[in-house]
Amino acid sequence: MTTLRRRTFIVGGLAGASAGVLLPALANAIGYPFTLGVASGEPAADGFVIWTRLAPNPLNADGLGGMPNTNTAVEWQVATDERFTAIARTGTVTTTQASAHSVHVTLTGLEPGREYWYRFRTGGHISPAGRSLTAPAVGTQPELTMLFASCSHYEEGYFTAYRRMAEEHPDLILHLGDYIYEGAATTTKVRKFAPATEISTLANYRVRHAQYKTDPDLQAAHAMAPWLVVWDDHEVENNYASLIRNDTNPAGDFKARRAAAYKAYYEHMPLRSAQAPTAENMLLHRRVRWGSLATFHMLDTRQYRNDQACGDGTKVCPAADDPARTLTGTSQETWLIDGLRQKLGTWDFLGQQVFFAQRLAAADGSKSMDAWDGYTANRTRIQNAWDANGNKGTVVLTGDVHRSWGANLMQNYGTQNRIIGTELVTTSVTSGGDGNAADNSLNPTLNPHVKYFKNLRGYVKTRTTSAEMRVDFRAVDKVTVRDYPVKTVGSYVVESTNPGLQAP
């Protein structure tokens, strides 16, 4: 239970200390607990979620971060200025070993459309401060600066893109999947995973998440702005579909493994309690409004999907067009179509994981079975819903493929009849290692609706008003060397009443 009080850390001691709650002397004995930084997310017009996790020894193999099995009182503080001279809210929450001493505080009662700063304290230790924002009030449409990224393989490079994202001072950051990778450590990369084996237990997943969170560049991005997150496959296992595994290594009960992975994911992300998992299930698809400017429909394309058709891979597969095949599951599809029909804002943003537009790999019609091309009827039903409703400002935001792409979404891909939306695909933060600026995998003959491609690491920056979205594909030349500068490698404009990519 969280209690609210309007006072500063200076005035009082650690609130709520009682039997079974870790006292300051003991807390000091275990060392600095805020090694994983702070984060915020899920912005609403009256608040957001703030997060931290107590872990003085974050890579301990038991996954408990060096914390004793004692409930621990953590004070939190929210201010309207970064010097914390004007306190808006304070309170105390008690952490437990069962949740790896993670902290999720859902704030309400704040002013819409403004900056706040937050921090935590326990046992005399004070966390770094984070910056967050509330969403604008419904009825208003101020400009939104948003960044989105995906696919951050710890071993394959440094998280320079996250540092550059923090330096952009965005209003909002989206992460579209593969926040962690589950594989075993190698000896040929620039960094090494902990633990060294492929992760499959709750302790393993906690340690891997903690290793990521110790990265200072990732911490900087989390501390700069609120995040909206969705997962893809590597948060559990490569290319899994619902409860169907990609392979049988490591051996074990996959339902238990997925439950462990989902629990660790929730423990390390600034998510609301509505997203807390139950066993092997977790409700991750949700809607977030940004005033009357935009509605974010955050999708889950892993938990409910049918297995990839024809044994996965890139191929010609008639089964991919079976109307019964689903990437979203029936319930999520209904939820999404209902939200699109409501048209709650000028823009509808679909934050999701895998390539949405048709993308032919060869003249024989071969396509990726792991993307929406493997579930074409599901895609058509969703596209038809927003098209029939006249939602011209529909933009699909995508990760997964470790390259930057930009595409027009067509009412009919075969005939190239009528543009009805836009897809922006972010490259990876590090996955795939250093890119190749000379790579030209864009085939306009096979895919005339696909307008942009770049094989470099980075993220996408957008600045959105009620009239248009200005898009910059941002990239760093190398991730195997620390701290490269970022540059814009492609720019487009999308108009809210005229879908598709246009020259800036």
pLDDT tens digits for range 330-366? 999 999 999 999 999 999 999 999 999 999 999 999 9
* pLDDT 10s digits, 477-489: 999 999 999 999 9
In a domain, 5, yes or no: no
Asked if residue 18 has pLDDT above 70, the reply is no
User: What pLDDT score was predicted for residue 441?
Assistant: 85
Asked if residue 24 has pLDDT above 80, the reply is no
Asked if residue 26 has pLDDT above 90, the reply is no
In a domain, 126, yes or no: no
In a domain, 238, yes or no: yes
In a domain, 342, yes or no: yes
Over residues 147-155, mean pLDDT? 98
Over residues 235-244, mean pLDDT? 98
Asked if residue 263 has pLDDT above 50, the reply is yes
Looking at the structure of the chain, the number of domains it has is: 1
CATH number, domain with residue 393:
3.60.21.70
Token look-up 């108009």 returns 495
In a domain, 95, yes or no: no
Q: What are the φ/ψ torsions at residue 43 (nearest 5 degrees)?
A: -65, 140
Asked if residue 101 has pLDDT above 70, the reply is yes
Q: CA distances (Å), 368 to each of 126, 327, 396, 457, in order?
A: 48, 13, 18, 22
Burial status of residue 469 (CB atoms within 10 A of its CB: 0-12, 13-18, 19 or more): buried
User: What pLDDT score was predicted for residue 443?
Assistant: 87
In a domain, 478, yes or no: yes
Asked if residue 259 has pLDDT above 80, the reply is yes
Classify strands 347-351 and 294-298 as parallel, antiparallel or unpaired.
parallel
- Strand locations in 33-178 (E): 38-44, 47-53, 72-79, 87-95, 102-106, 115-122, 125-126, 130-133, 144-149, 172-175
Asked if residue 268 has pLDDT above 50, the reply is yes
User: What pLDDT score was predicted for residue 12?
Assistant: 33
User: What pLDDT score was predicted for residue 107?
Assistant: 98
Percent of the chain with pLDDT over 90: 93
* pLDDT 10s digits, 308-334: 999 999 999 999 999 999 999 999 999
In a domain, 90, yes or no: no
Asked if residue 10 has pLDDT above 50, the reply is no
Over residues 56-66, mean pLDDT? 98
In a domain, 55, yes or no: no
Domain ranges, residue 432: 137-502
Structure confidence at residue 30 as a pLDDT band (50, 70, 90): confident
Token look-up 């008003």 returns 465
